[in-house]
Amino acid sequence: MSIEIANESAVGVPETTIVSVARFTLDQMGVSRLAELSIVLVELDVMADLHERWMDLSGPTDVMAFPMEEHEAPRSPESTDSGPGVLGDIVLCPEFARDQARNAGHRMEDELYLLTVHGVLHLLGYDHAEPEEEREMFGLQNRLLGEFREAKTEADRAAQQRDADSRVLGVVGLDEPADSGDDAER
């Protein structure tokens, strides 16, 4: 699975983790490993232009999704067909997300993860125009975010344990060649 990310905004973002949450979501949804996705982070004025051009709504928004193909259902890696080529583009506006996160009382990174999952689900054909669709999409979005956070917490904990183990083992000389005892014979 190929996921490209381009930060064209002036806001620093955790690009690696944004890609990770997108990949996690696609994996959980059974999307083919042949799929390609593009994530672009833009300034407020660029997002406002896109929002007006494609949605006929004024002002910026947090996320927009531009699917390349129509998807009736996510395709699994075991599928015999060629699977999707390019899923499409997700456009995020970090500055808008920062303000939204502040108002919601959480970190901008958490807002960007939520928006990334939201964008991926839109690319896969989910929508929230009708109340039933909204319940389905937002329920799935919340479940995927919860599972991602659990997986990320476990991966972070394992990395911290590896670092601690390396420091302990480093004290015994892993950074230097082991003493062969030759000094005692001299």
Q: Domain of 23?
A: 2-131
> Is 58 in contact with 88 (CB distance < 8 Å)?
no
In this prediction the pTM is: 0.81
Helix %, strand %, coil % for the chain, to 5?
55, 15, 35
- Determine the pLDDT at residue 83: 54
What pLDDT, on the 0 to 100 scale, is given for residue 70? 55
Residue 165, pLDDT score: 85
Report the number of distinct structural domains present in the chain.
Answer: 1
Decide if 92 is inside a domain. Answer: yes
Establish if 63 belongs to a structural domain: yes
User: Is residue 37 within 8 Å of 124, Cβ to Cβ?
Assistant: no
Q: Nearest CA to 48 among 62, 59, 56, 63?
A: 59
Q: Residue 80 is part of a domain; what is its CATH number?
A: 3.40.390.30
**Quick one: residue 115, left, alpha or beta (phi over 0 = left, psi -120 to 50 = alpha)?**
alpha
Given CA atoms 136, 138, 141, 145 in this order, what sign does their dihedral have? Answer: negative
pLDDT tens digits, 149-180:
999 999 989 989 988 888 888 754 444 444 44
- Is 153 within a domain? no
What are the residues whose beta carbons fall under 8 Å from the beta carbon of 48, sequence distance 6 or more?
58, 59, 60
pLDDT for res 80: 44
The ranges of the chain with pLDDT < 50 are 71-82, 172-186
Residue 69, pLDDT score = 64
For residue 181, is it within any domain? no
pLDDT for the residue numbered 125: 93
Tell whether 12 is covered by a domain: yes
The answer as to whether 171 is a domain residue is no
